[in-house]
Structure 1
């Protein structure tokens, strides 16, 4: 079950999960945390199991019904068990967006593709690193 964790940004476990979804630089992680604090339209939810947050999803829901995923992470020891897919499905159910979009790299593109997202290459936005736009259109 998804729970709102935006008020738990100071917890080390939340910060470690956010670090999994951004360039692992302590300054970048703190910048991401401050963005969630400063911008009320950004939401952050987690999946709790046995009292521990094992995955999180951070997003913005825009007026046109587009949910933009900014961060999606599952604890490394829990990956491959369907928690990432569960975060996406529960977010779809909770927010009922028209579509979900995410930008990602080669490491995560197969996850989005296997979850039903349409994947489009954006080319090398950073030297030597191809980026992808992933789009999931919700059924009516």
Structure 2
């Protein structure tokens, strides 16, 4: 049975880190562990995972420090489960849990279509970091 579970306390599990790696540029073990540690110690982050039986299919990490908006820090779905609604279900779970006015995220060309399909307003930030990679600010009005 598929379910969404709290995953901050188990974020360092190999199978969860493997899912998280889908959203991380150059996902070395060290980079993934550093990211996981930062999320675990931050009291303003929440982590949820889509799980079916013993398989983690997707993960979302949010920052809820702003009472009016939540920010998606990471969202990832295992390659074999992409385009099956898992990412959308994770966002909807966060909307139901936190009731934000809006959700914001920053992404690149690889994921901007997902946010657009969900209904986010997309604003191009250009090559924000000077690395030849387009970045986008994505905003979804919940209310």
Q: Secondary structure at the match of 2:111?
A: helix
Aligned equivalent of 2:134: 130
Per the TM alignment, residue 50 of structure 1 is displaced from its structure 2 partner at its CA by 2.4
Cα RMSD of the aligned pairs, angstroms, is 1.2
2:104 equivalent to 1:73: no
Other structure's SS at 1:125 match: coil
Equivalent-residue separation in structure 2 for 1:15 and 1:58 (angstroms):
12
Structure 1 position 13, deviation (Å): 0.7
Counterpart position of 1:89: 92
In the alignment, the residues of structure 1 paired with residue 65 and residue 40 of structure 2 have an alpha-carbon distance, to the nearest angstrom, of 18
2-structure distance, mates of 1:63, 1:119: 20
Counterpart in 1 of 2:56? 53
**Structure 2 runs not aligned, ≥5 long:** none
For the residues of structure 2 that align with 1:12 and 1:48, how far apart are their CA atoms?
Answer: 14
Distance 2:86 2:11 in 1: 20
Instruction: List alignment gaps of at least 5 residues for structure 1.
Output: none
The answer to which of 107-116 and 24-33 deviates more is: 24-33
Report how many residues are paired.
139
* CA shift for structure 1 position 63: 3.3
Please report how far the alpha carbon of residue 42 of structure 1 lies from its aligned counterpart in structure 2 after TM superposition.
1.0
- Alignment partners' CA distance in 1, 2:66 and 2:90: 22
TM-score w.r.t. length of structure 2? 0.92
TM-superposed deviation, 1:26: 2.4
Matches within 5 A, 1:108-127: 108-126=111-129, 127=131
Q: TM-score, normalised by structure 1?
A: 0.93
